Amino acid sequence: MSSWDLPPDYPLSSDFVRRLKSALATGDKDMVQELICTEAEPVDAVIELANDDWMKEPSAQLPTGALLGLWTLEYKRELTTPLCIAAAHGHVLCVRHLLSRSADPDASPGGRGALHEACLGGHTACAQLLLQHGADPDLLNAEGLAPLHLCRTPASLGCAQALLEHGATVQLECGPDRVTPLHVAAQHGLDEHAQLYLARGARVDARNGRGETALSAACGAATRSPDEQARCLRLCALLLRGGAAADARDEDERSPLHKACGRARPSLCTLLLLHGADAGALDYGGASPLARALQTATCAPPAAQHRTVQALLNYGSPSVWPDAFPKVLRTCAQVPAVVEVLFNSYAQLRVSESWLEVVPEEVYQMHEPFYRSFFALAHTPRCLQHLCRSTIRKLFGKKCFYLVPHLPLPETLQKYLLLEPEGVLH
């Protein structure tokens, strides 16, 4: 019989658990330490902190999911030990005390051991103590993840270092997706963790169960704050310098560039293009990076909404099929710089006055100078300067970004050739 099946030493209904949960909820560190270090017996006592097994109580009100037929025959039950609680909250003195009483550093009745808890919380001193007392650095939790896979925050860098110093396997593939610690670092934008793992022999292009490399995982990860985006950019630059393939495809044939475009991250897209990413790559659904960039253009920072589209076109991405331009206009109408850059990538594209219907009136009014110049082209051919630009760009092809800056032209004309938006069309 497993620890899960045995009755806990302190069930949820006990006075001990009631006081412990109250102390945890109020942040009463002294009370938590008093309870788990002096009252809890034996030292590895199993403590039940939660149990939503409503099926054992006939009078219990059924949760909404069950009433809707969504019940999955599973319930949440949280079992833990004094050592796990101490490690989870960074109580170093308590961890040391419990270990001195021969607490088992690998005990995990709830599927997660004290070392897992320490790593999740980024409590380096606790992790070091546990490892010094024989904790298994590769112990898997109930989800099949090792402690290194739970180092998911900048604060956990010290835990990762301690784990590796005590023999943790840097290339261990864990969980249902068979991720390595490097994948985890990439998903969370942890550039210092990634540098540590690479220095310890992590394979830069190892693939997870979905065929993703660490670079692919990093490019597809959600980043919100400027600090997170900066860390992710440093991480991807580190991976590329370490030999990561800029164009590695996952099981859906999506490249890192597809994912960066889908996340509206122009600086990352430019970095990938500089390292040889294919601007015209198609995934299994037939979508190009440009298609992904156009879909998410409105999500990019206002000052850079057109940058990804501009970079892709300057690195040789085919433009949108002309008949599909009205769909682009409908999607990107509120970002006229994107419409301008894309429109200028055609030598000649006939403007239809019927397209006016897809531009909301309030958007037209907000950007009237641009849209007035745009729809004026329904009756006028493009100017000679634009036709010359198109000829030069066609001649340079995928090397526009590299060759245009070498032309003996003023900077303003170089920018013009590279589709820098002007705010109106000619």
pLDDT at 222: 83
Does residue 162 have a pLDDT over 70? yes
Domain ranges of the chain: 1-55+76-167, 334-426
Please state, in angstroms and rounded to a whole number, the distance separating the CA atoms of residues 192 and 308: 27
More confident residue, 392 or 6: 392
pLDDT at 62: 46
Does residue 68 have a pLDDT over 90? no
Does residue 224 have a pLDDT over 80? no
Does residue 4 have a pLDDT over 90? no
pLDDT digits (tens, 9 = 90+) for 263-276: 989 999 999 999 99
| Residues 44-72, mean pLDDT to the nearest whole number | 59
Does residue 5 have a pLDDT over 80? no
Please state, in angstroms and rounded to a whole number, the distance separating the CA atoms of residues 214 and 204: 7
More confident residue, 233 or 65: 233
More confident residue, 231 or 50: 231
pLDDT at 358: 94
Please state the separation of Cα 201 from the chain's center in Å.
23
| Residues 352-373, mean pLDDT to the nearest whole number | 95
pLDDT at 72: 43
Lowest mean pLDDT of 56-60, 82-86, 408-412, name the range.
Answer: 56-60
Does residue 287 have a pLDDT over 70? yes
pLDDT digits (tens, 9 = 90+) for 314-354: 999 999 999 999 999 999 999 999 999 999 999 999 999 99
pLDDT digits (tens, 9 = 90+) for 227-263: 888 999 999 999 999 999 999 999 999 999 999 999 9
Does residue 157 have a pLDDT over 60? yes
pLDDT at 76: 67
pLDDT at 61: 52
| Residues 127-151, mean pLDDT to the nearest whole number | 97
Token couple for 130: 């546990």
In DSSP terms, 78 is beta-bridged to: 50
pLDDT at 53: 53
pLDDT at 51: 78
Confidence grade of residue 52 (pLDDT, cut at 50, 70, 90): low
| Residues 180-209, mean pLDDT to the nearest whole number | 97
Mean pLDDT for the chain overall: 91
pLDDT at 73: 45
Does residue 303 have a pLDDT over 90? no
Does residue 201 have a pLDDT over 50? yes
pLDDT at 119: 98
CATH class in words for 1-55+76-167: mainly alpha
